[in-house]
Amino acid sequence: MGKHKKVDIRKRRQRLLKEKRKELQQKSIKTEKKPTKALDIRLEKETKLYWIRALTGALSALLGRLIFGFIGWFLFLWMLAWWFLFPFVVSFIIFRYEYDKEEWYWKNIILPGIGIYFFLFMIVGVFIHTTLYFIPGFSSVLELFT
């Protein structure tokens, strides 16, 4: 009988863990597929519209208050214009979504992200307005150029 070979359990375990990780990575790559169901495609579209709406809310408040200097009703009308018109621009011109005639309804474009849009518009608008209030004699960037 020969001598027993010493086995380093740590090295062997590390090697087994590396092999398992490689197998899991290969399986995850194989399982990642594009959504094929109509519901999955619609949810993916709505998710993109939601995050675009969030970004649009913050940027429209920033542009409306800081660049153009809108206050009060003008800022409200600015918000409504971006709220109702920009999602259609994103849907039909930027992303070029195709909606079925039976499935298409304008609320599917308007509704995703209304809350986050309004919330971010108000937060950014109030923050910018408060910051600009403490700068004497400054109301907008356009005022500097005129």
| Global pTM exceeds 0.75 | no
Region at 127 (left for phi over 0; alpha for psi -120 to 50; beta for the rest): alpha
Give the C-alpha separation, 1 to 104, whole Å.
Answer: 80
- pLDDT at position 127, please? 93
**Who contacts 42 (Cβ-Cβ below 8 Å, separation ≥6)?**
108
Give the C-alpha separation, 39 to 23, whole Å.
Answer: 31
CB–CB of 50/114 below 8 Å?
A: no
Position 40 pLDDT exceeds 80? no
Give the C-alpha separation, 89 to 29, whole Å.
Answer: 34
Give the C-alpha separation, 29 to 144, whole Å.
Answer: 54
Position 120 pLDDT exceeds 90? yes
Please report how the helices 38-62 and 73-89 are oriented relative to each other, as an axis angle in degrees rounded to 10: 150
Q: Which residue has the tokens 């359990």?
A: 9
Give the C-alpha separation, 116 to 58, whole Å.
Answer: 9
Give the C-alpha separation, 97 to 91, whole Å.
Answer: 6
**pLDDT tens per residue, range 73-108:** 999 999 999 888 888 787 777 777 776 666 667 777
**Who contacts 19 (Cβ-Cβ below 8 Å, separation ≥6)?**
none
First to last CA, the chain: 98
Position 1 pLDDT exceeds 60? no
